[in-house]
Every structure is written in structure tokens, then in C-alpha cells.
Copies of this chain bind each other. A is one copy, B any other.
Amino acid sequence: MKVAILCIGDELLKGAVINTNLAYMGQRLLEHGIMPELCMEMPDTPQDVVKTLQYAMDQADFIITSGGLGPTADDLTKQSIAEYLQMPLEMHPEAEKAVRDRWLSLKRGELPYHFLNQALIPRGAKPFLNAYGSAPGIHIKTQGENPKQIFMLPGPPSELHPMFDNQLLPELLKNLDARLHTKLFHIAGVPESRVEERTLPIIEAHPGLSVAYCAAPEFVKLFLKTEDPACLESAKQAVQKEFAKELLHDNVKSVSAEVILLLKEKRSSLALAESCTGGLISQLITDNPGASSVFPGGIVSYANEAKAELLGVPEEILIRYGAVSSQCADAMLEGTMCQFHTNCGISVTGIAGPDGGTAEKPVGLVFIGVKCAGQKLVKEYHFRGSREQVRARTAATALNTLRRMLNGEVVE
């Protein structure tokens, strides 16, 4: 199945918006064993849209576009594509009702005429109604010798995500070889090369099994694909056995979500004390709806006074060992768990850079403390990279250590 993605809008090329839609759709397609042939970002002028559509239709059979479906003057995706395909635009009754209802719910007075243009759909095409915005998506099947399918979605991620999952993907998968059986795993805390090595015997034992890897900052995705359901079942069990300690739960897509799930299972709660990560771990935890049931809170203690007064780090530790020390990380850990009355905790203190490093304590030096389920570990790390990378690696390491302890693993 050859898929191309076109992301339309000047703001992508000007760098005003980061194209997260590509990553979202790429991840969701990969879960079904599909990697797009290419993606193109282009300005929202009709010539650019048509030129890239022509190129994409030469490379792929299924074209997904995002952006340019709204009511304003620069939203020309639909008009350009309809004109190019010689499909006249017609008011679609169901789409019209949905667009009118949407306007009413916004309570902004009389309906401006151009707003209804969003309900114009190319003749013969099908609208995808939009529950989170006003512009419907559109599904076109072209006729002729070499038929193509074009899916148009609105650009805002809050509208694109549900429409992609609930409307586009089911239509797209109808065209997928029905014999294909697939499974996606998330493996945390193992480098991609080690995942490959450890998967090799499973591949050898399962003829006809196809395997793909994909390394993300937090984990490696392992993707199994085969035409034989019994082969998939056996390979799944082998992966579950080999990576028993490292697999995230099915349907869990981040280590922070896994940690929250495990904390709920164990009726435990977590407190944080962050220095160099400055609230990043807290933000990752609270990205997940429902975090409040296991996360009473955390303290961002950038200043030494805050470490002393709010976390109870003894002055002597700060003077003798400094704020970036295992002794301080340990005291911060105990301090925050005491303040928030929790049985699990994470503390972090280090030098994220680019300034503030010394010969003795260089940029990238981080102490991470984790306490949970009868274990406590305070460990020294040396992370490479920019300030952003040091902070991200610190957060990922801290959360994965807690995940392992919650799983009952002995962590050293």
C-alpha cells in the first residue's frame, strides 16, 4: 500500500508551526505496517497544492492531505484539488447541517455566508464529519484506469487526530491485504541495537515473520507482521517472554503513562523534587489525564534555599558536597516524599548547561534518586548533548528507573 502525505500551509515552511501531524499519522500508519512513501510540505497557493498533488499521485495510490480546509481566504486546498480533478463542488446536506450546528455552538451571532463554504464537497466524494471543529474532511475516489484515493483532513491536531483514527484509518485499511496480521510493542530502556540482537532468534524461529524497529527517545517500537495468525501468536509470546521486564502495557504509549498505570495498580503515589529538569518530569506525568489520582505534586527547587527550606536538605550537605551531589539528591528525595506523604519519589539535581559546569562537575553531570517499593537508588549519570537533551535524558532515565522498581525489578 503506497501512501503519500501532503501537509499544506505557509506556517509549516515559515517554521511557525512544527509539523506534528506527520509524526502522528506516521506512528498510526506504522501500527498497521505501513510506512508512507514520502511527505511534502508546501505553501497554500493553488499552484503549489496541485503541483505537489500531481507528484504525489505519481508516487502513491493513497494521498492524505492536512490543512487548508477552513473558512478563510487562504484555505484553498479543497477548491484547488476539486478543480484539478474536475469535480464540481456542491453543498452537501449532512455537512451543511453539521457546519451550521457548529456555528450555533460557538454563539457568535449570525452565520457569515463564507463559513458555509466549508460544507461544499466535490461531487461524488464523501465528507468526514468533524466533531472537534467546523471543516469536514473529504474522501475522494478517482475513477479511470489507475484509480487513486485522496483523503483531506483539517490541519489543527485536535481535529486531525480523531478524524484520522475514527474515519480515515478504517477507510484506508479496507484496502489493506486482509491476510496481514500485525502487532506493535513498546520496549523501554533498551538501545535499538540490543533490541535487534535479542529479537534475532525469534525471527529465525518464525519463517514468514517480518519485523521492523523504530527508535524513539523513550523506547524502541518493535513491529511484527505476518500472514499466518498462528505464527504471529507464537512470535508475540516469544517477544513477551524475551522482553518481559521491558515491555510497556498494550495501548500505553509513554513511559510516564506506564508509570501512572503501575502506580494505580500498586495503590501508590509519587512525589517529585526537580532541580535541573525544572518541572519537565512533572509536566510529563501531568500530560496524562487522570494523573492526579497518583500524583499529589512536586517541588521545583532551583535555588539552594528552596532545597533547604522546602525539601529539608541540611545546610551541611549543601556546603560540604554542593547542590549537585548524591547526598543532596538523597535528601531531596526524602524531603519531597515527606512533604507530599507519598511512598514513591523521584529527585533530580545536576548541571544541564550550557553554562555552570566546572572541571570537577561538568555539564551533563546529573544525580537521580528514585525510591519505591522497598528500594532506593541514588545514582550518578553523565549525559551528553545540549541543555534540552540533558534534561530529556534525565527525565527519561528517572521515569524508567521508577517503572522498573514498580515492576518489582531489582535496580542497580
- Shortest Cβ gap from A234 to chain B (Å): 25
**CA A10 to CA B36, docked complex, whole Å:** 9
CA distance A36 to B19 in the complex (A): 15
Contact (Cβ within 8 A) B25 A15: yes
Pair B295/A302 contact, Cβ less than 8 Å: yes
Please report the total number of A residues contacting B with Cβ < 8 Å.
78
Contacting pair A215 B16 (CB below 8 A): yes
The proximity string for A residues 1-31 relative to B, scoring 1 for CB distances below 8 Å and 0 otherwise, is 0000000001111111111101111111110
Residues from chain B with Cβ under 8 Å of A296 in the complex:
301-303, 305-306
CA distance A387 to B277 in the complex (A): 22
Whether A123 sits at the interface, judged by CB under 8 Å, is: no
CB distance from A108 to the nearest CB of B (A): 12
In the complex the two chains form, what is the Cα distance from A295 to B300 in whole Å?
A: 10
Cross-chain contact B27 with A23 (CB below 8 angstroms): no
Bound Cα distance A346, B278 (Å): 16
Residue of B nearest to A353 (CB): B289
- Inside 8 A of A26's CB, which chain B residues have their CB? 12-16
Q: A299-B300, A385-B158 are in contact. Are A38 and B52 (CB under 8 A)?
A: yes
A20 to chain B: closest residue by CB: B18
CA distance A157 to B37 in the complex (A): 23
B18 touches A23 (CB 8 A): yes
Any chain B CB within 8 A of the CB of A340?
Answer: yes
Contact string against B for A residues 263-291, beta-carbon threshold 8 Å, 1 for contact and 0 otherwise: 00000000010100111111101110111
Indicate whether A14 sits within 8 Å of B40 (C-beta atoms), given known contacts A272-B300, A299-B299, A340-B306.
Answer: no
Are the C-beta atoms of B214 and A16 separated by less than 8 Å?
yes
A216 at the interface (CB under 8 A from B): yes
- Tell me the nearest residue of chain B to A342, going by C-beta: B303
**B-contact 0/1 string along A330-350, CB 8 Å cutoff:** 000000000111000000000
User: Inside 8 A of A22's CB, which chain B residues have their CB?
Assistant: 12-13, 15, 18-19, 41
Given A285-B278, A286-B279, A289-B387: A30 touches B14 (CB 8 Å cut-off)? yes
Q: Which residues of the other chain, B, contact A17 by a CB distance below 8 angstroms? A: 23, 216
Asked if A27 contacts B15 (CB within 8 A), the reply is yes
A355 lies within 8 A of chain B by Cβ: yes
Interface centre among A11, A285, A309, A340, by most chain B C-beta atoms within 10 angstroms, is A340
Instruction: Give which listed residue, B280, B290, B353, B385, contacts A279 with CB less than 8 A.
Output: B280
State whether the Cβ of A83 lies closer than 8 Å to any Cβ in chain B: no
User: A297 at interface (Cβ–Cβ under 8 A)?
Assistant: yes
Asked if A55 is at the interface (CB within 8 A of a chain B CB), the reply is yes
Say yes or no: A302-B306 contact (C-beta < 8 A), given A22-B15, A25-B15.
Answer: no
CB of A265, distance to nearest CB on chain B (Å): 19
A298–B279 CB distance below 8 A: yes
Kindly list chain B residues whose C-beta atoms are within 8 Å of the C-beta of A40: 38-41
Which 9 pairs of residues, A with B, have the shortest CB-CB distance?
A278-B286, A279-B282, A15-B26, A15-B27, A296-B303, A279-B279, A15-B23, A297-B306, A279-B283
Interface residues, chain A, with chain B CB atoms under 8 Å away: 10-20, 22-30, 35-43, 48, 52, 55, 157-158, 214-216, 221, 272, 274, 277-283, 285-287, 289-292, 295-303, 305-306, 309-310, 339-341, 353-355, 385-389
- List 6 A-B pairs, Cβ < 8 Å: A14-B30, A15-B22, A16-B214, A38-B48, A38-B52, A55-B55
